[in-house]
């Protein structure tokens, strides 16, 4: 792990993308709050959030193909510059009083489209930066940087707004994209050269799916992750809010505290993984969902903030074990020319799960109550993890 910190390119990637993720967290909070101030209606705020999220899901799949066919670092730089430029009208219109919800939603959608190729390209760039023998450690360190920065972003929103106003907050977010682009520019990597003719988009996506089908255990882990996100993520937002308000009789500060504890525990889990060598990445990734479900199952029964904090810390730690081995597994097993597409498919699964899970969690909680709601989520996660382990065993025998 010490060698990674002496790797100039890796250090630039970790620092630059940590700053970028801080900007992402700040942007997410600023976008929602700006939508609220403009409309004062939850429905329209939800539409702005939907406009920001859906294009990212679609553009991520398409953009991942470009990340496999073109220079990934240059594509990331272009994505950063495009997003910075697309954000410029927001502070200008805020300052002049010309911003409305429709314009905000449109700009958020364009920012999402411009950012679509970024995450697949970034994750696919890691093997060439860190080396094939340090993938688990490199991804763990990067996740520590990304997660720490992202959780700090929303925490900075209130003081940044007080000091700079909403206009200044968006200017600060623009600056984080510039920093990311500069650190990527400073990296010394060989320019991508390919003697093979570039295939067209649809043909390339089909080839990527064939490459993924050729590694069935990787496909199983990605599918299990997508299913588990659907059963898990909504209960970390809607579910925890319901728990705080109905069982713990606490307020928004306690809600933020519990989410922060879960986030810090994820960072700790990533740090632990950075010092480990796992013999079977696929099995570790799917069985981690069983562990997470085990801690999630009794969460609806707690009656104190301390007990809820302990269980959310445990689930946060387990959450780090679900995705870091998965990323390393994909990077290790999928050929480089299809790597971004496989990672883009995973990112698309995350996006779909994050979009659908909150309303699903709300539906379950409204009908089953908070106690049974968390129990159902926990049992589903355990079942999904065990299903994944069974499918991996079958694949290994085939």
Residue 32 is encoded by which pair of tokens? 């929602």
Predicted local distance difference test score (pLDDT) of residue 63: 83
Dihedral of CA atoms 68, 69, 70, 73 in degrees, nearest 10, equals 10
User: Which contiguous run of DSSP H or E holds residue 337?
Assistant: helix 336-397
Residues 235, 326, 147, 80, CA torsion sign: negative
| Per-residue pLDDT band at 215 (split at 50, 70, 90) | very high
What pLDDT, in 10s, does the model give residues 226-266?
999 989 887 877 788 788 888 887 766 677 678 778 888 88
pLDDT tens digit string along 130-168? 877 778 888 888 877 777 776 677 677 778 888 998 899
Q: Where are the domain boundaries for CATH 1.20.1250.20 in the chain? A: 2-133+152-186, 208-397
Query: Distance from CA of residue 361 to its chain's centroid?
Result: 19
The pTM (predicted TM-score) of the whole model is 0.78
| pLDDT (average), residues 362-366 | 85
pLDDT band at 192 (very low <50, low <70, confident <90, very high): low
Contact 329, 215 (CB under 8 A): no
Residue 195 reports pLDDT greater than 90: no
What fold, for 208-397?
Growth Hormone; Chain: A; (1.20.1250)
Question: Of the given ranges (74-83, 144-153, 200-209, 384-393), which has the lowest mean pLDDT?
Answer: 144-153
% of the chain residues with pLDDT over 70: 94
Confidence of residue 382 (pLDDT cuts 50, 70, 90): very high
Per-residue pLDDT for 178 more than 90? Answer: yes
CATH superfamily, domain 2-133+152-186, is MFS general substrate transporter like domains (1.20.1250.20)
pLDDT band at 291 (very low <50, low <70, confident <90, very high): very high
pLDDT at 193 over 60: no
């Amino acid at each position: 792990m010490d060698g990674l910190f002496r790797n100039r390119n890796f250090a630039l990637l970790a620092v630059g993308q940590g700053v970028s993720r801080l900007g992402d967290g700040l942007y997410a909070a600023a976008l929602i709050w700006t939508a609220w101030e403009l409309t004062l209606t939850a429905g329209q705020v939800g539409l702005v959030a939907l406009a920001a999220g859906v294009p990212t899901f679609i553009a991520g799949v398409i953009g991942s193909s470009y990340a496999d066919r073109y220079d990934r670092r240059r594509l990331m730089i272009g994505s950063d510059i495009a997003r910075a430029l697309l954000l410029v009208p927001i502070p200008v219109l805020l300052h002049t009083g010309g911003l409305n919800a429709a314009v905000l939603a449109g700009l958020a959608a364009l920012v999402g489209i411009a950012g679509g190729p970024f995450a697949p390209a970034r994750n696919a760039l890691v093997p060439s930066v860190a080396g094939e023998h340090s993938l688990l450690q490199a991804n763990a360190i990067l996740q520590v940087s990304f997660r720490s920065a992202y959780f700090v972003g929303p925490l900075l929103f209130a003081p940044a707004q007080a000091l700079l106003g909403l206009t200044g907050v968006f200017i600060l977010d623009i600056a984080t994209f510039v920093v990311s682009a500069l650190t990527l520019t400073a990296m010394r990597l060989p320019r991508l050269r390919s003697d093979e003719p570039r295939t067209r988009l649809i043909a390339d996506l089909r080839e990527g799916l064939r490459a993924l089908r050729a590694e069935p255990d990787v496909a199983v882990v990605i599918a299990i992750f997508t299913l588990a996100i659907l059963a898990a993520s909504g209960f970390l937002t809607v579910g925890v809010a319901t728990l705080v308000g109905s069982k713990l009789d606490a307020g928004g500060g306690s809600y933020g505290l519990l989410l922060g504890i879960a986030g810090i525990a994820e960072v700790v889990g990533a740090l632990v993984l950075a010092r480990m060598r796992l013999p079977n990445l696929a099995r570790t990734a799917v069985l981690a969902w069983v562990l997470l479900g085990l801690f999630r199952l009794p969460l609806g029964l707690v009656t104190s903030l301390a007990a809820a904090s302990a269980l959310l810390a445990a689930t946060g730690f387990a959450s780090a074990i679900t995705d870091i081995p998965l990323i390393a597994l994909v990077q290790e097993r999928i050929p480089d020319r299809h790597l971004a597409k496989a990672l883009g498919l995973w990112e698309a699964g995350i996006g779909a799960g994050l979009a659908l899970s909150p309303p699903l969690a709300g539906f379950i909680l409204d009908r089953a109550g908070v106690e049974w709601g968390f129990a159902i989520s926990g049992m589903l996660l355990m079942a999904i993890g065990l299903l994944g382990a069974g499918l991996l065993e079958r694949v290994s025998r085939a």
